[in-house]
Every structure is written in C-alpha cells, then in structure tokens.
Amino acid sequence: MTLSPAPAFPPAAPRVPSPDARRPAQLPAEQDLSVWPRSARPEPDGDVTVGGVSLAEAADRFGTPVYVLDEQEVRDRCRAYRDAFPEADIVYAAKAFLCRAVAHWVREEGLGLDVCSAGELALAVTTGFPPERIVLHGNAKSPEDLSTALRLRVGRVVVDSASEIARLAALAPTDARQRVMVRVVPGIAAGGHLKVRTGTDDQKFGLSITDGSAQHAVARLLDQPHLELVGLHCHIGSQIDSVKPYVAAVRRTVGLMARIRDQHGIVLPELNIGGGHAIACRPGERSLDPGVLAVRVRAELAEGCPRAGLPVPRLTLEPGRAIVGPAGVAVYRVLAVKETAGRTFVAVDGGMSDNPRPALYGVRYAPRLIGRPATAAPRRVTVVGRHCEAGDIIADGVALPGDVRPGDLLAVPASGAYHLSMASGYNLVGRPPVVAVADGGARVLVRRESLDDMNRRDVGL
C-alpha cells in the first residue's frame, strides 16, 4: 500500500473492459455461459470444463459438493482493477473468500488485503502477506482484533465508533503512530438488498456525516498522540450495479474533507471508497464495470477537489465479490426429485450450510446439468438443499432438463464469493472443499471438513 498521497490524477485512461464485458453474444439459456468463468467450455457429452478441467471428473475425484475456483479468472479480475485504477490502491476484501492460495494470488497481482478480524489477519500474514498492505475494519473490533493489528503494524485501521478510538488509543504502542481512517456514512441508499445497504444512517456501520458523528470522531482522533489520521473510508453497500451512488459518495466525502480542513487546518491525503461492486449471478443481470467506475470517479475528483480547494486524495478501493465471485463454480449431486402440489423439487447434497445467500438475501442462481447430455425438454423446477429448513432453496423456478434424476450433477456458477466464507455447520454437514483449476490441472486449496473434524471440537460429556 502506498503510504504517501499521490498528485492529482493523470488524464482519464481509455476505458478498460471488465472481464464481464468481453462475453459472447447472448445464447439460449441452456447454453449461456456468460456468468461462468471465461475459461468455461461446453463439451459434446454435456460436461463443462473450467480451466481445462472437467467438472464431472472433478466431482468424481473430489466428491460433492465441491467448489471449483478458476485461478486465472481471479488473476484476470485483479488485473482489470489494476488497469482501470493504475493510480489507486486496490485491496481485496478477504471477507468474500479467503484462503492462503487466494491471498498469495492477489499479492502476486499487486493488490493489498482488507480484513475484518484477527483470524483473517493471521491467515494472511502466515502466507507472507506484508502487514503494511493490509487494512483492518469492521463495526465491532474485539480487543484481540485491535491488538493483533497494532502488533503486526497493519497499514490502516478503519475506526468505526467513538468507543473504538479510546480502545485503540489505549492499546497503541508508544514507539510508533498507527495510521487510521474514519469510516463515514454519507446517507446514500445503494445495494442489491436492504440487508447489504451500509451507506444510510439507520444501520450499524460507520459514523454519520449528517448528525456530526464523523466530525466528532475526527476531532477525537486528532487529539491522540499515537494515532495518525490519514483519511476517510466510505463503503455504501454490496451488489451495486450503478456508478451513480459511488459518485455521490465521493462528492459528499470530499465535502467533509473540506470542512475538516477548514475546522482543523489539515488536509487528509487518502480516500477509501470501499467495494460492493455487483456481479451477475444469472444471464441478463447487470455487473459493475470497473473501467466505467474509474472514469466517473476520476472525473468527480478532478472536478470536485479543486472546487473545494483540495488536492486529489490517494484513492483506495476494496473489491471482493467482483474478483472472486465469478471465478467459482459449485458442483452438487442430485439426491432426490419430487413432485408436490404441481411443483418439481430437485434436492441436492448441499444447500444453505455452504451457500446461505438465497435464504439471507433472496439471491437467485442459474444451475446447469453437467456430466451427460440433456435428453428431454426443459421444465421449471426448484433446486433445494438437504437441510431442515423450508427456506433452504438454491434456485427457484429455473429450467432444467425434464429427465433430471438422482445421481445427476448440477453446477452453479458465480459461486466464488460469500458462500464458503459464510458457511455453517448446520445439521453437522461438513463444509465442502475448494479446488483450484488452471491449465488443465486441479489441486485442493481447502480440504473437505470431515465428521472427525467436527467431533474433535465437542469435548464435553
């Protein structure tokens, strides 16, 4: 992470197409691979290969459910952000999905890391990830989170509450100054679901610009001798498919920076505009193009900062889902097919324990039969999981071949983010493995959680 502020942005670079923008023309739904990794190829026998690896063979080799992660897709998406924002710091949001290999990939591609706990931080540094390129934030950091970050001297700690300032100041070492940012709430409603909108004043994250909480936090931080306030942080939500909310957020945070300058006589050199960039989970859905975002944000800063009498701050972005989400494919095996009250339910061997997002946010996916050719016309079905909840639904009202049957394989694209990172041990069903594919080879990144793993945690009788 660059620690000194950069000069004003250079002239806008040519628009860099995102990986999503380089897709083939629309195909019939049963053939459409537009939301799959770009390496995905349909095979004559009904299979699909990703990274040169047969998904059906991966299911046989590693068992199901299994999450397949295309390494090159992850790297390409890192590069798309670096190309779109060459003057900014890009930090990968580890909460989307973190394992040692992913930390290694994003580091090699020149990205920093955004973590929310001592656990994520510890995993990252064990890979050799430089702590100075790590940002720690979260709405309720524990003493362990803060002390670990201070001990390792992470690049930035994002302050989220007044009480956190006191805790951080009490823990800060006296031989150095910890760089901090203030997470501000700009009063902007954006996001794909009410539960992922974090830019309004009626939710748990950040400090409001409207009621003065952000300004009060700035004043308190400036009084702390071992904390160095370097900028503002503003994350407004998730699954945002329009650049307009980001432009509005930049405008409001620049306005706050001007007021801080007027009140305290300091110019904050950095602005972190978070992430939350939408991906398409089904053909036809919109994703956010980082190239378009770069042009619009750059233009807003180039116009708004001189108007406010400020230099253009060093920009940071925190994409997570947009990097790893489209790179993942979940593969399940069908356990049962059942007709009930005019509906067809296709039950698979996973569900909400490895992907809670449909139950939490109503996310809809586009499963595809793999491993054999379709021999019947498609019909509408509901793909459900194996767990003891009526809301354990993976995909509702989707078209699958009318002869889908137990033993078949279903692949669900756009599954790389917020599936395994939010997975649970519900019904004591172990979490699936993660398998990386690249250049025709496959290797396990995270092994399957076994019954023995879960039993070892239960030490009482």
Q: pLDDT tens-digit profile of 217-250?
A: 999 999 999 999 999 999 877 788 899 989 999 9
Q: Is residue 32 part of a domain?
A: no
Query: Where a domain ends, among 256, 285, 319?
Result: 319
- Decide if pLDDT at 264 tops 80: yes
Shared-domain flag, residues 280 and 378: no
My answer on whether 420 and 391 are in the same domain is yes
Is the per-residue pLDDT at 254 higher than 50?
A: yes
Q: Which pair of structure tokens corresponds to residue 212?
A: 């003065």
Backbone angles phi, psi at 137, to 5 degrees: -150, 175
pTM: 0.90
Phi, psi for 294 (deg, rounded to 5): -60, -45
Rounded to an integer, the average pLDDT of 98-115 is 98
Please check whether residues 187 and 334 belong to one and the same domain: no
Domain that holds residue 417: 41-68+326-457
Domain C-terminal end among 300, 319, 338: 319
Predicted confidence at residue 139, as pLDDT, reads 84
d(CA 28, CA 394) in angstroms, rounded, equals: 21
Same domain, 177 and 197: yes
Render pLDDT for 281-292 as a digit per residue (tens, 0 to 9): 999 999 999 999
367 is a domain residue: yes
Helices within 96-142 (DSSP H only): 100-108, 118-126
For the question of residue 388 being annotated catalytic, the response is yes
Is the same domain home to 310 and 344? no
- Same domain for 187 and 333? no
Q: What is the DSSP letter of 281?
A: S
Q: Would the CA dihedral through 322, 194, 204, 264 be positive or negative?
A: positive
Q: Domain end: 289, 319, 349, which one?
A: 319
Question: Which residues define the annotated binding site for substrate?
Answer: 321, 357, 361, 389, 418
Find all residues with CB under 8 Å of 79, minimum gap 6, and list them: 109
The predicted-structure confidence for 36-68, as pLDDT tens digits, reads as follows: 999 999 999 999 999 999 999 999 999 999 999
Task: Report which of residues 12 and 164 the model is more confident about.
Answer: 164
The total number of structural domains in the chain stands at 2
pLDDT tens digit sequence for 397-451 = 999 999 999 999 999 999 999 999 999 999 999 999 999 999 999 999 999 999 9
Cβ neighbours, 10 Å, residue 93: 28
For residue 456, give both structure tokens: 């070892």
User: Residue 326: which of 434, 438, 441, 417 has the closest Cα?
Assistant: 417
Residue 335 sits in a domain of what CATH number? 2.40.37.10
Assigned token pair, 169: 């100041």
Residue 306 sits in the same domain as residue 370: no
Q: In the chain, what is the greatest distance between 2 CA atoms, to the nearest angstrom?
A: 72
Annotated binding site for pyridoxal 5'-phosphate: which residue ranges?
A: 276, 318-321, 418
Active-site choice (99, 116, 234, 388): 388
- Which residues are annotated as part of the binding site? 276, 318-321, 357, 361, 389, 418
